[in-house]
Structure formats: structure tokens, C-alpha cells
Amino acid sequence: MRFAAKLPANCPPSSCVPTSGKVFRIVGKNPPREEDFKSFRELKPDEEFKDESKECEACGLSIYRDKSDVHRMIRRIPNRRKRIQIVAMGILNETMGVMVHTPKKKENSHHTWWMYFGCSAWEEFTVVEIIQPRST
């Protein structure tokens, strides 16, 4: 299968598995749209990573198996706490790409997902929660 984005050598890693199951992702709009499924690399093409594995992850999308990990991430990152966060849920299947477990700090259910070319992921996600900014 062909991937939606140009990827560096050895990316995605050989430890990937086909996408499957319920996942959560922060999106920008309700309902989710194509722009909500752009990788960090697509959003910041000039950002540099010294580590090859971080470059590979930057070409994928962050998703979470556990919605409570989305909440942990929002609480941990000050910029996230200051604005509305929209959480969407989707059910992935093997035709949508591959993923690998990439735990982040306290968010153990974090995975990185590399979408296959032609995947319209935004059509498979539904907003399940809108989190208001925290008052300081």
C-alpha cells in the first residue's frame, strides 16, 4: 500500500500493525475535516529532528486508545489548557493504514498512525467531547 504522506527511509517502523479499533484524536472542528488529519510534518515542514525515529513519528498522526490519556495530555501541556479542545472518536480498520505504540510521558495509550493514500479518516471520526479552557 502507498502512504498518504512522503515518509523517510525505514518509516513506518517494522513493528507496526494494521490499524484497528476505537481511537481518539484532538481535532479542530466539529465535524472533523481533512485539515484535522495532517501530520506534524505537514503542518511544520521546516521543523528539524535529530533523531530519525522522531522524524518518522512527525510524519504520522497522534491517536490514543484511552480517552483519559487525551485529558492527561491536555492538562500537561499549558497551551492546550488555554483553548477549546475537541475530542473525536473513530473506529479504524486495516484499510486505513498502520500504527505503532508510541507512549508519551504519562499517556501510555498513545499510538502513531500512518494513513494509507486515499484514506478519508475524517469521515470516520465523530466528536465525542468539547473541553472548555480552564480558568486561571
pLDDT at 76: 81
pLDDT tens for 19-72 read 999 999 999 999 999 999 999 999 888 888 888 788 999 999 999 999 999 988
| pTM for the full predicted model | 0.89
Which H/E stretch holds residue 67?
helix 67-76
Q: How far apart are CA 75 and CA 5, in angstroms?
A: 30
pLDDT tens for 40-52 read 999 888 888 888 7
* In the chain, where the domains are located: 17-131
Instruction: Select the CATH number that applies to the domain covering 17-131 from these four: 3.30.1490, 3.40.1000, 1.10.1200, 3.20.170.
Output: 3.20.170
pLDDT at 104: 84
Confidence category of residue 135, pLDDT binned at 50, 70, 90? low
User: Is the pLDDT reported for residue 4 higher than 90?
Assistant: no
